[in-house]
Structure 1
Amino acid sequence: MEGRQRARDIYRQALPVVLLSLVAGLFSGTLLGTETMRTSIERVPGILLLLPAFLATRGGVYGSLGARLSSGLHQGVIPPQITLDRRIVNAIVASFVNGITISVFIAIITYLTLLVSGAGGDLVRLVGIMLVAGGLSAVLMLSVLVVVVFVGYRRGLDPDNLIGPVVTTLGDVFGVAFLLVGIRAVEVIL
């Protein structure tokens, strides 16, 4: 009986977030299909090539932060409120650095792929776009994820049930939007 109750609790906690994630994913796809995004993609060779890697790494980098915070809360090694605890700060800084580093790495790999395929590309432009998009997504995802983990935990929800859908939703919706912002910002600067 306890196994069934545990399964019901997990579904009760995660289902609203998963449904929100579904709607947000549809919005993200709609944003990707807009005329503005299509013209931006056409102006910058390699954007479609780096998009899946960029979106996928948001989940990997920030999902691991959520898992660390959740484990720390469950084990009692970090306090259940947002503080400047050394463990919390170190985890956030590490995730920020990893997010930016992987964004730049994706831009470099995309450029090399374009070079090898003969499609040409602009390394400075790709790195600039990814720095803007990676930085903006890092700030947003870190802020929201930390709040969701701690507020959810204090309200009796298991953060492990919330992290995946929240990271996926934020990564997809804002990842696409921030790529567009990055393209626009680099066009203004360069």
Structure 2
Amino acid sequence: MQETDIRETTPNEIEKDNLKKIIKQTFPLLFISLIGSLFAGLILGGMEETLKTIPGLIVVVPAVLDMRGNIYGALGSRLSTGLHQGLIEPKLIYERNLIVAISAALFNGGVVSIVLGASAYLTLNILKIKVISLFELIAITFLSGITSGLILTVIVLISLFIGFKKGIDPDNLVGPVVTVSGDIFSILILFLVAKLIIGGI
């Protein structure tokens, strides 16, 4: 009889396989993220006239982008952990752990948006830089924050759930998905809300 060659997989081989899997899963997503960031830059470039006519708006743009990444990156991480531990099912159904995670992200986004608008207004006034009214600036940051937050939540949920079902590690999806969708929708929604509140679209 022919002997079957059976050998155990070494730790180094497992590590190499894991590395290959991570690279295979993340590289296309990082490329898409890069293209998305460039597209977000084009949107920001198209906002030049709006930024000129709405004093103080340019100041909140970097903070808005950073806030989205922090809040919805954390949401993605919580969902990823929940999926790995079996605490969250990869389905768009009413589930307590899922609702708590989403509610926390939206609440944090709303509160931070208000603080951001007020802080920007106060800082610009201290520096004697022209700025729109406090109400207008807070309205812009809050409404754009909630709107883009809802959109990002849906995108993160669908992306992680579909990826998880297809065997893709959700941890590898979180960063690129939040980055590309956050950059594009945060800037686009901020632009539309600002135009709507200040002078109509």
Shift of 1:81: 2.2
1-side partners of 2:191 and 2:89: how far apart?
Answer: 38
Instruction: Work out the CA distance in 2 between the residues paired with 1:42 and 1:9.
Output: 47
Q: Which residue of 2 aligns with 1:116?
A: 126
Structure 2 match to 1:81 = 91
> What is the count of residue pairs matched by the alignment?
187
1:13 to 8, 25, 37: 25
Residue identity in the other structure for 2:148: S
Same amino acid, percent of matched pairs: 35
Q: Is the 8 A contact 1:132 1:181 kept in 2?
A: no
* Structure 1 partner of 2:7: none
TM-score by length of 1: 0.94
Match of 1:97 in 2: 107
For the residues of structure 1 that align with 2:50 and 2:143, how far apart are their CA atoms?
Answer: 15
> Normalising to structure 2: TM-score of the pair?
0.89
**Greater than 6 Å deviation, 4+ residue runs:** none
**Cα deviation 1:31-52 (Å, max 9, x = unaligned):** 1112xx1111011222111111
Cα distance in 2 for residues equivalent to 1:171 and 1:105: 19
Aligned pairs (5 A) from 1:151-162: 151-162=162-173
RMSD, matched Cα: 1.2
CA apart distance, 1:188: 4.3
Contiguous gaps of at least 5 residues in structure 1:
none
Structure 1 equivalent of residue 42 of structure 2: 30
1:127 aligns with 2:128: no
- Separation in 1, partners of 2:189, 2:87: 34
Q: CA deviation at 1:118?
A: 0.6
1:48 corresponds to which of 58, 70, 75: 58
Aligned to 1:68: 78
